[in-house]
């Protein structure tokens, strides 16, 4: 086998607002593996400022992988444990090489016989911008919406209140994602107010790394709390089990490109289910290459609740998509 990689800059159609700032571009890396005239493609979806492998030497490690592509996968996995996004791309490329055009996890999903239900994502912005997004999602048939919060709670609460007045919880499931945007004491107050609005769950109310704070919040919270950024950088099986045993979250959010690819996600799911903790899978601004692979993988896990997958429509220069949105159902183009 031979391998090569290239960098690619994705441009947002409109700036994406998060509690960590405004995003205009998203850098990513495309890995290609070739063997006997066949080609496998994967995306090493580095997320600057969020990925635990965002440090000098990233491209050197990609070069190392290409030079050692014929080594035993177990050896490569151990060497790339500190580079979850590179391992994520490697897993994709190998699966694609094996399965062919746009295929990573062949299933009823890739045969066009089934779909994945997803939530509609509402980006941060002023009240008018967020309200416009919500109206579009409702018009498209979504009955599960996730809103980014944590920058202007007063305005965000007003939007949620208006939504709940129009749509009871039986009609519209509301999830919120704070991306660690609240201080500990404020988070307690916000959790109570979210409970009064019948919110399904909140992701990462306080910054990652504050295990004691998160443990207290999860023990006392009136609504389910989901760990998100908290999982990033936790690589060893013992550490994963320790985190879940101490914090005891109601859910964990699984982003394969940030937590060690599909094998890393499998580990988290196994430990979570053993502890009675719920989960769902979420994309993390990957291009259509990585998004396609994540969607195929997510289907194989037989999820029972809406997943947090994107649609590939955020960028002006994305790759051709193998997926299509049908209402709130993500499907594979056959």
Which of the following is catalytic: 137, 146, 148, 207?
148
Helix (H, G, I), strand (E, B) or coil at 154: helix
- The span from the CA of 259 to the CA of 162, in Å, is 36
Q: Are 213 and 184 in contact (CB under 8 A)?
A: yes
Tokens standing for residue 228: 């998100």
Q: What angle do CA 296, 299, 305 make, to 5 degrees?
A: 135
Residue 49 CB coordination number (10 Å): 9
Q: Is 4 a known active-site residue?
A: no
Please state whether 327 falls in left (phi above 0), alpha (psi between -120 and 50) or beta.
left
Tokens of 261: 């690819």
Angle at which helices 288-300 and 84-99 cross, to 10° = 80
Give residue for tokens 């389910």: 224
Nearest alpha carbon to residue 307 among 118, 143, 146: 118
52 phi, psi to nearest 5 deg: -75, -10
Largest Cα–Cα separation, the chain: 60
Decide if 291 contacts 282 (C-beta within 8 A). no
Is 148 among the catalytic positions? Answer: yes
Contact 301, 107 (CB under 8 A): no
Catalytic residue among 188, 207, 240, 255: 255
Shortest CA distance to 91 belongs to which of 123, 45, 51? 45
DSSP state of 302: -
Q: How far apart are CA 263 and CA 33, in angstroms?
A: 19
Distance of alpha carbon 308 from alpha carbon 306, whole angstroms: 7
- The residues carrying an active-site annotation are 148, 255
């Amino acid at each position: 086998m031979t391998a090569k990689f290239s960098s690619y800059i994705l441009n947002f159609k409109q700036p994406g607002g998060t509690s960590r700032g405004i995003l205009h571009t998203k850098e990513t890396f495309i890995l290609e593996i070739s063997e006997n005239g066949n080609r496998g493609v994967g995306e090493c979806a580095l997320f600057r400022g969020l990925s635990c492998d965002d440090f000098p030497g990233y491209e050197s490690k990609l070069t190392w992988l290409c030079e050692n592509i014929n080594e035993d996968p177990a050896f490569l996995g151990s060497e790339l444990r500190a580079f979850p996004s590179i391992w994520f791309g490697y897993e994709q490329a190998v699966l694609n090489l094996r399965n062919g055009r746009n295929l990573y996890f062949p299933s009823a999903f890739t045969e066009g016989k089934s779909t994945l239900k997803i939530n509609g994502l509402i980006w941060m912005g002023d009240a008018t911008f967020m309200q416009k997004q919500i109206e579009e999602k409702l018009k498209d048939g979504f009955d599960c919406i996730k809103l980014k919060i944590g920058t202007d709670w007063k305005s965000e609460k007003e939007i949620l209140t208006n939504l709940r007045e129009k749509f009871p919880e039986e009609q519209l499931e509301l999830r919120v994602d704070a991306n660690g945007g609240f201080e500990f004491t404020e988070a307690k107050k916000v959790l109570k107010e979210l409970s009064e609005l019948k919110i399904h769950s909140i992701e990462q109310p306080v910054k990652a790394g504050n295990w004691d704070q998160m443990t207290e919040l999860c023990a006392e919270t009136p609504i389910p709390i989901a760990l998100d950024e908290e999982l990033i950088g936790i690589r060893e099986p013992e550490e994963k089990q320790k985190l879940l045993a101490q914090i005891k979250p109601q859910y964990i959010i699984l982003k394969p490109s940030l937590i060690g690819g599909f094998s890393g996600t499998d580990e988290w799911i196994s430990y979570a289910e053993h502890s009675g903790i719920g989960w769902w899978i979420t994309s993390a601004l990957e291009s259509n290459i990585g998004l396609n692979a994540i969607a195929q993988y997510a289907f194989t896990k037989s999820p029972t609740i809406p997943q947090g997958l994107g649609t590939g429509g955020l960028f002006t220069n994305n790759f051709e998509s193998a997926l299509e949105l049908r209402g709130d159902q993500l499907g594979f183009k056959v």
